[in-house]
Copies of this chain bind each other. A is one copy, B any other.
Amino acid sequence: MSSSYGNNLKVQVFGQSHSPAIGVVIDGFPSGMKVDMEFLSSFMVRRAPGQNLSTPRKEADDVEFLSGLNENGETCGAPICAIIKNTNVRSKDYSNLAITPRPSHSDYTSLIKYGESRDIRGGGQFSGRLTAPLCIAGALCLQYLKTNGVKIGAHISSVLNVLDDAYDLVSDEIPDNVSDFSCINEEKASQMKAVIESARMACDSVGGTIECKITGVREGIGDPMFDGVENRLAQIMFGIPAVKGFEVGAGFDVAKRYGSENNDPLCVVDGKVKTVTNNAGGINGGITNSMPIVFKVAFKPTPSIAKSQQSVNLSEMKEATLEIKGRHDPCIVVRAVPVVEACAAIAILDMML
Which residues from chain A sit less than 8 Å from chain B, CB to CB?
Answer: 1-5, 7-10, 12-16, 18-23, 25, 27-28, 31-32, 64-72, 74-81, 83, 91, 101, 103-106, 108-110, 112-119, 121, 124-126, 130, 158-161, 199, 202, 204-209, 219-220, 223-228, 230-232, 234-236, 238-239, 241, 243-252, 254-268, 271, 273, 275-276, 279-281, 284-289, 298-305, 307, 309-312, 314, 317-319
Contacts and interface: CB of A to CB of B under 8 A. Distances in A.
Nearest to A276: B310
A150 to B, nearest CB: 17
A67 B22 contact: yes
A326 B279 CA distance: 24
Contact of A265 (B116, B266, B311): B311
Contact of A256 (B3, B160, B228, B310): B160
A120 to B, nearest CB: 8
Contacts of A254: 207, 244-245, 298-301
Contacts of A113: 31, 77, 220, 287
30 contacts: A3-B223, A4-B10, A4-B12, A5-B226, A13-B225, A16-B68, A16-B78, A21-B81, A22-B67, A31-B118, A77-B114, A77-B125, A104-B280, A106-B285, A109-B220, A112-B220, A112-B289, A113-B220, A130-B225, A160-B255, A199-B258, A207-B254, A207-B257, A207-B258, A209-B255, A230-B244, A247-B247, A252-B252, A260-B305, A266-B311
A231 to B, nearest CB: 4
Given A65-B20, A110-B285, A235-B226, A268 B76 contact: no
Contacts of A161: 256
Given A4-B226, A225-B3, A259-B204, A118 B25 contact: no
A239 B244 contact: no
Nearest to A258: B204
Contacts of A235: 226, 231-232, 234-235
Nearest to A104: B263
A101 B220 CA distance: 15
Given A207-B255, A245-B251, A25 B14 contact: yes
A72 B2 CA distance: 22
A309 B276 CA distance: 12
Contact of A117 (B76, B207, B301): B76
A278 to B, nearest CB: 10
A26 B310 CA distance: 37
Contacts of A114: 31-32, 76-77
B16 A76 contact: yes
